[in-house]
Amino acid sequence: MIGYVSLKMPELRKDPVIGRWVIISAERGKRPSGYEQVVESRTTDYSPFSAGNEAMTPPEIFAVRPDSSISNSNDWSLRVIPNKYPALVSDQVSAAYPKDDFYEAMPGIGAHEVVIETPDEQARLTDLSASALSDILGVYRRRILALKKDSRLKYVMIWKNHGHKAGASLSHAHSQLLATPMVPGRVQQELDGAKSYFRKAKTCIYCEIIRREIRDNVRVVYESEQFVAIQPFAARFPFETWILPKVHRSHFEHCTDDEITQLAISIKAMLHKLDMVLENPPYNFVLHTAPVQEAAMDHYHWHIELMPKLTNIAGFELGSGCHINPTSPEDAARYLREIPA
């Protein structure tokens, strides 16, 4: 077993799924307080996403609101709208697309939506109840199920950027969804790595990660009946956290209502722990799930990757595809385990 004592020297670790090396630079041995604190002031700026400002956004696609309420009125608790500046659009004509014998391109067909997580521009995700968080996750499931009916769409990526430093352009709590006409490269790497492991070991590699992590109980930072959160062995970022369902399932949209509820509780617990250790850090949250047009897979396992934004992605990372992590996942786990869930 490796990685279970504090590192005195730098170590290279390989992600077991995609084979990406990471440099765990424990000589730098950064404690949580060693990272630049980014105090995100709760804005008092005008927010186009607030209740009452519905006319400022494109008409809603879906909302959680009382039965008696009408669309785009102001008594909602959760709202899905098209992104006003979409990266991809659904009404592209693809028939006469020019061909080139060397450079490959295709029309930017897709959908780009925003999930406004709360009508209150001051609230952070951690301020919301587990039930409100459940609604958000339920809406992710609902939108994936709706979008996958369009067979041109091969993948639905869902993510959240919290804090300016993590790339949020508006501070009002929201997540985003981008449906794409191809399976993104990083997702394909996970699928390929997981398939190759399955062929060899006849088991899902994520199930195996869960089994080992629970057994060794060093990098586990949260556990409930249905979910486990770990600091992954080859974490790219300090305090990078993966939340995995114990039940094998490739597609997030196949989750039951009960799983959605339990996931909300797990996310709330982990965000609370990260907030306590790192003082409301900026972070990125990404749902990793299987391509929407494919049937259930034995080899892939949906999960969430939660990445506090404490280090930079700069020349080295762009050129190498590797990351330097100044806090080992074992050290990070030690801090996170001390905080009650």
Residues numbered 280-299 forming contacts with a second copy, rule: CB under 8 A: 284-288
- The answer to whether 230 and 220 are in contact (CB under 8 A) is yes
Nearer to a second copy, 285 or 335 (CB): 285
Piece in contact with a second copy (CB under 8 A), picked from 12-20, 53-61, 250-258, 292-300: 12-20
If phi > 0 it is left, if psi is from -120 to 50 it is alpha, else beta; for residue 19 that is left
Contacting a second copy within 27-46 (CB under 8 A): 27-28
CB of 25 to a second copy, least distance (A): 5
- The answer to whether 171 and 45 are in contact (CB under 8 A) is yes
**Type of residue numbered 2:** I
Nearer to a second copy, 144 or 307 (CB): 307
Cα–Cα nearest to 180, from 114, 110, 112: 110
- Token pair recorded at residue 291: 């391509």
If phi > 0 it is left, if psi is from -120 to 50 it is alpha, else beta; for residue 163 that is left
264 binds a second copy per the rule CB under 8 A:
no
If phi > 0 it is left, if psi is from -120 to 50 it is alpha, else beta; for residue 227 that is beta
Q: From the list 17, 23, 210, 255, which residue makes contact with a second copy (rule: CB under 8 A)?
A: 23
Find where tokens 């170590």 sit.
11
Coil, helix or strand at residue 27: coil
CA distance 31 to 5: 16
- Give the number of residues in contact with a second copy, rule: CB under 8 A: 74
Piece in contact with a second copy (CB under 8 A), picked from 47-55, 86-94, 131-139, 260-268: 86-94
Show the CA angle centred on residue 45, arms to residues 39 and 47, nearest 5°: 115
Piece in contact with a second copy (CB under 8 A), picked from 3-11, 251-259, 262-270, 295-303: 3-11
Find where tokens 């009382």 sit.
66
CB of 16 to a second copy, least distance (A): 6
Contacting a second copy within 135-194 (CB under 8 A): 157, 159-161, 166-168, 176, 178, 180-182, 184-187, 189
CB of 300 to a second copy, least distance (A): 15
**Options 112, 172, 174, 301, the catalytic residue:** 174
Nearer to a second copy, 141 or 303 (CB): 303
How far CA 159 is from CA of 8, 284, 289, 305, in Å, comes to 35, 7, 12, 10
Contacting a second copy within 202-241 (CB under 8 A): 208, 212, 233-234
Cα–Cα nearest to 267, from 326, 207, 233, 226: 226
**Burial of 272: CB neighbours in 10 Å, binned 0-12, 13-18, 19+:** middle
**What is the rounded (10 degree) CA torsion for 49, 52, 53, 58?**
80
CB of 70 to a second copy, least distance (A): 31
Nearer to a second copy, 129 or 320 (CB): 320
Contacting a second copy within 100-139 (CB under 8 A): 100, 102-108, 110
Piece in contact with a second copy (CB under 8 A), picked from 70-78, 88-96, 118-126, 137-145: 88-96
CB of 52 to a second copy, least distance (A): 27
Q: From the list 38, 64, 88, 276, which residue makes contact with a second copy (rule: CB under 8 A)?
A: 88
Q: Residue 174 catalytic?
A: yes
CB of 290 to a second copy, least distance (A): 13
**Residues assigned a catalytic role:** 174
